Structure 1
Amino acid sequence: MRLVQVAIPEGNRDAVLEILDDRGIDYVVSDETSDRDYEATVTFPLPISAVEEVLTSLRGAGVAKNGYTIITEVETVVSKRFEELSEEYAEEGDEDRIAREELQAKAQGLSSSTPNYVTLTLVSAIVATAGLLLDSPATVVGSMVIAPLIGPALSASVGTVVDDDELFKRGVKLQFLGVVLSVVAATLFAVAVRTIGVVPPTLDPTTIGEIEERLAPNVLSLAVALGAGVAGIVSLTAGVSTALVGVMIAVALIPPAATIGIAIAWQLPGAAIGSSVLTLVNLLSINLAALAVLWYQGYHPEPIFRRADARSATIKRLVVLVGAVALLSVFLGGVTYSSYTSATTEQDIRGAVGGVLEDTEEATLLDVSIHTTNEYVLFSEPRRVVVTVGVTGDRPPDLAERLDRAVDRMAGQDVGVQVRYVETETVG
């Protein structure tokens, strides 16, 4: 529910009150006693979904030119007529959809001042980098909580549909700035950590669980980003808190950006490519989902002559975003397919090795380790298979050859096979 207060310019009082009477809206009128060009102030409660339609009608009565309007949120309205009005608008459309003016104001309010935005982004990226290197999910989640990325991510879409170029440009600029700052901060922090020896010199970041899951993005990553965009804009248009949704948007941006910095610091180009694609896909998908939802919900500029321009800009930007996401999705699809084929091949190799060892009484299979090429880029292939077997006596003379033939057959190519023998002894 909203409480609307409108200052009525001189000569417009009767027209304004007639509009409210025709809609069955309860109101209170106060005469204006100041020397300004206002005749009166009218205050009235409205259901959320009625605000935009009523304000549009009031503008037609001359309020927009010289008056002003204040919209505030209220907890409860006790009125029989208000209940009837709420039921009427609930039947006509989405009762939780906030007015265009309120949407625009909320989007502007979500964007922090540039100094605060820069500071919070830098801190968030550094905390995320530390959390990734520590393999600490709690620390990574903490970095998402302080990330101020939800404002710019939603502002650009709101600016597009309401034809507010300044809001759109600010949203795009802050998104770009946020991602760049995150990568730079993560890189510098990771280089410093590695240089001064805070982490072991032999540390391989690609073996850390929190980092590994962001190195080879697949199609499911697209679902996460689209879901974050939809959830973010729906929470904004419904007038509910965006704090938790902001964490979800940060999930899609801050950890992948920090992973890029770690990959750069450790000079891992394959890992940097994978995490860069993930970051870019997430960024574009969030904007695509938010813009599509706003368009579907019917938001547009109030002046009719501006609607065509806003519609044209919205369609063009949707096409660009869809094209970019589709292009990057080819990479995601390739990674998904590559992951599937690699997993299938590895399973077949392990099965073949196990089959050979089952037919060899003198040896017992202890471990199978499969090393691949281009582990975090498209189309990785098995490069070397290390088989560890336990023996109690003499080594089987032809075991290595049989394993090599079995592995090559499953892999469909020549793969190096190394057999390691471990003497075992059974007592009792």
Structure 2
Amino acid sequence: MHLRLIVPPDRTGRVLDALVDDPRVTSVVRLPGAAQRPAGDVLECDVTREATSDILAYLKAEGLYDEGSVAVADVDAAPSRNARETEKAAPGAPDDAVIWDAVVDQAYNEASGSWVYYAFLTLATMIASVAVVTDSSILVVGAMVVGPEFGVVAALAVGLAMRNRALTWRSLRLLVLGFVVAIALATAAALLARAVGWIDAGSVTADRPLTGFIWRPDKWSAVVAVLAGCAGVLSQTAGRSNALVGVFISVTTVPAAGDLALSLALWVPSHIGGAAAQLGINLAGMTVAGVVTLLVQRVVWRIYLRVKGRGQAGARVEA
């Protein structure tokens, strides 16, 4: 991981020494007086992923979060011998390490509630409604991929696991409000389609061999939701965002919302309950699985560090 720091001049020497003396840190650069807002010295360095939480905790204790600046970025490749030697100084594998400050920061970003989030969720729900009418499994997958809700579910799991009430409330509010808005707008669109004669109650109640599972939750709905929740949180904490596509097309949140909107517009009570249950099971299962995954990661990593030790860490601070 690459760190760019703005350090108050009265702390530059101490922070610089700590970074240089830590064998898990390399490529340390100092630019005296280069920063203008906030004012201070600029320090840059590369840190092994396993040590990043330690280093960030040290920098926070030094007041850089409040009186300076800290920016963290991934290093895609570091093919130098020096970088390889630095990696050997840190216990564990990079994918096993969780950078908790980055996880929380990402969670806050996901829970910000931009209009783009509402737009994507609404469009995904409408695509899912069309999938129900046409009994198209391809459209179901498309709706799952378009839906942006997993980021908010992950943020909710982070808030619960970290006992962050503000993040928990923001995420829960956005998740509920997002689906309410998306279902309401999709219902309005379905009412319009009904008015012009494109659809009727039979569009929902007809035999649907490819999409009937959407409104009929069973034990496997809960199993898939739990597995997807674990995989999704792991992909985010380990920096494996490519795995999220698999998570998106595993859970039946958006398709259930689309079925629910269509059933409300055409008033098919037998489907309303099933679709709502499917939506609730998936959201609850992913959230619970996400919380458990985060807690297990914290415990396992701490135990591993105690067993292996932390090497000769100059800037070592308990995360």
- Do the two structures share a fold, i.e. TM-score over 0.5? yes
**2:235: which partner in 1?**
235
Residues 296-332 of structure 1 deviation map (CA, whole Å, 9 limit, x = unaligned): 1119xxxxxxxxxxxxxxxxxxxxxxxxxxxxxxxxx
**1:322: which partner in 2?**
none
Please give the secondary structure, in 1, of the residue aligned with 2:198.
coil
Q: How does 1:235-274 map to 2 (within 5 A)?
A: 235-241=235-241, 243-245=244-246, 247-248=248-249, 251-274=251-274
1:56 aligns with 2:52: no
**1:168: which partner in 2?**
168
Whole-Å separation in 2 of the counterparts to 1:56 and 1:232: 26
**1:104: which partner in 2?**
104
Deviation of residue 165 (structure 1)?
Answer: 3.1
1:19 aligns with 2:18: yes
1:4 aligns with 2:3: yes
Please give the secondary structure, in 2, of the residue aligned with 1:217.
coil
Query: Structure 1 residues 201 and 57, CA, compared in 2 at 3 Å: closer, same or farther?
Result: closer
Aligned residue-pair number:
296
Whole-Å separation in 2 of the counterparts to 1:263 and 1:289: 29
Cα RMSD, aligned residues only: 2.6
**2:209: which partner in 1?**
209
Q: Which amino acid aligns with 2:5?
A: V
Query: Structure 1 residues 240 and 202, CA, compared in 2 at 3 Å: closer, same or farther?
Result: closer
Q: Which amino acid aligns with 2:2?
A: L
Deviation of residue 74 (structure 1)?
Answer: 1.8
Whole-Å separation in 2 of the counterparts to 1:35 and 1:185: 47
Q: Greater RCO between the two (CA within 8 Å, min separation 6)? A: 2
Residues 208-238 of structure 1 deviation map (CA, whole Å, 9 limit, x = unaligned): 2244222321100111111221121111101
Q: TM-score by structure 1 length? A: 0.63
Structure showing greater radius of gyration is 1
- Is the CA contact (8 Å cut-off) linking 1:112 and 1:151 kept in structure 2? no
Please give the secondary structure, in 2, of the residue aligned with 1:75.
coil
Q: Which amino acid aligns with 1:16?
A: V
Query: Structure 1 residues 232 and 40, CA, compared in 2 at 3 Å: closer, same or farther?
Result: same
More moved, 168-177 vs 137-146: 137-146
Query: Structure 1 residues 3 and 185, CA, compared in 2 at 3 Å: closer, same or farther?
Result: same
Query: Structure 1 residues 260 and 11, CA, compared in 2 at 3 Å: closer, same or farther?
Result: same
1:46 aligns with 2:47: yes
Whole-Å separation in 2 of the counterparts to 1:169 and 1:202: 40
1:87 aligns with 2:88: yes
Deviation of residue 96 (structure 1)?
Answer: 4.5
Q: How does 1:262-411 map to 2 (within 5 A)?
A: 262-298=262-298
Please give the secondary structure, in 1, of the residue aligned with 2:214.
coil
**1:121: which partner in 2?**
121
Deviation of residue 277 (structure 1)?
Answer: 1.2
Whole-Å separation in 2 of the counterparts to 1:78 and 1:252: 42
Whole-Å separation in 1 of the counterparts to 2:185 and 2:65: 46
Query: Structure 1 residues 266 and 22, CA, compared in 2 at 3 Å: closer, same or farther?
Result: same
Whole-Å separation in 2 of the counterparts to 1:201 and 1:39: 67
Deviation of residue 44 (structure 1)?
Answer: 0.9
Residues 266-314 of structure 1 deviation map (CA, whole Å, 9 limit, x = unaligned): 4332222122111111111111111111111119xxxxxxxxxxxxxxx
Query: Structure 1 residues 120 and 65, CA, compared in 2 at 3 Å: closer, same or farther?
Result: closer
**1:219: which partner in 2?**
219
Deviation of residue 36 (structure 1)?
Answer: 6.9
Query: Structure 1 residues 218 and 163, CA, compared in 2 at 3 Å: closer, same or farther?
Result: closer
Could you list the runs of 5+ residues in structure 2 that have no partner in the other structure?
300-319
**1:142: which partner in 2?**
142
Deviation of residue 21 (structure 1)?
Answer: 3.0
1:77 aligns with 2:78: yes
- Is the CA contact (8 Å cut-off) linking 1:45 and 1:77 kept in structure 2? no
